[in-house]
Amino acid sequence: MKRNFVTRLALGAMAILASTGAYAADPYRIAVSNSYIGNEWRVEMINFMQAYAAKNLKGKVELTINNSGTDAQKQIAVISDMISDGVNAILVNPASDTALDAVLEEAAKHNILVVAFDQPVTAPSAYVVAVDFKEIGRIHAQWLADTLGGKGNVIINRGVSGFPADTNMNAGMRGVLDKYPDIKVVGEVYGKWDNAVSQQELTKVLTANPQVDGILNQYGTYGALQALINLNRPLIAMSGQGENGWRQAMLKYQDQGLKGVSAGDPAVIGAYALKIAVEILDGKAPADKHVAVPVPTVTTADLKTGVNVFPDLSPTLDADTDIPGANLGLTIEDGVAK
pLDDT in tens, the chain (338 residues): 433 433 333 434 443 344 334 555 679 999 999 998 888 889 999 999 999 999 999 999 999 999 999 899 999 999 999 999 999 999 999 999 899 999 999 999 999 999 999 988 999 999 999 999 899 999 999 999 999 999 999 999 999 998 878 999 999 999 999 999 999 999 999 999 898 999 999 999 999 999 999 999 998 898 999 999 999 999 999 999 998 989 999 989 988 889 999 998 899 999 999 999 999 999 999 999 999 998 888 888 788 899 999 999 988 889 999 998 899 999 999 998 66
* pLDDT given for residue 75 in this prediction: 97
Q: Both 67 and 85 in a single domain?
A: yes
Does residue 300 form part of some domain?
A: no
- Mean of per-residue pLDDT scores for the chain: 90
Domain that holds residue 276: 22-131+266-293
Q: How many domains does the chain have?
A: 2
Residues 6+ positions from 21 with CB-CB distance below 8 Å:
280, 283, 285
323 phi, psi to nearest 5 deg: -120, 135
Residue 234 DSSP SS3: coil
In contact, 34 and 68? CB cutoff 8 Å: yes
Does residue 7 form part of some domain?
A: no
- Report the alpha-carbon distance of residue 317 to residue 319 in Å, rounded: 6
Q: Both 96 and 109 in a single domain?
A: yes
Q: Both 109 and 200 in a single domain?
A: no
116 has which bridge partners?
92, 128
Does residue 70 form part of some domain?
A: yes
Does residue 259 form part of some domain?
A: yes
Beta strands in the chain (DSSP E): 28-34, 61-67, 89-93, 113-117, 127-130, 152-158, 183-190, 214-217, 237-240, 259-263, 290-292, 297-298
Residues in the chain: 338
Q: Both 52 and 66 in a single domain?
A: yes
Q: Both 144 and 127 in a single domain?
A: no
Residues 6+ positions from 200 with CB-CB distance below 8 Å:
223
Q: Both 93 and 48 in a single domain?
A: yes
Does residue 215 form part of some domain?
A: yes
Does residue 12 form part of some domain?
A: no
* pLDDT given for residue 337 in this prediction: 63
Q: Both 156 and 210 in a single domain?
A: yes
Please give the biggest Cα pair distance in the chain.
Answer: 87
The upper half-sphere exposure of residue 12, i.e. CA atoms within 13 Å in the direction of its Cβ, equals 6
Report the CATH number at residue 224.
3.40.50.2300
Q: Both 181 and 248 in a single domain?
A: yes
Q: Both 98 and 214 in a single domain?
A: no
Of 247, 263, 279, the last residue of a domain is 263
Does residue 217 form part of some domain?
A: yes
Q: Both 171 and 234 in a single domain?
A: yes
115 phi, psi to nearest 5 deg: -125, 110
- Report the alpha-carbon distance of residue 261 to residue 239 in Å, rounded: 5
Does residue 287 form part of some domain?
A: yes
Q: Both 257 and 202 in a single domain?
A: yes
Q: Both 176 and 111 in a single domain?
A: no
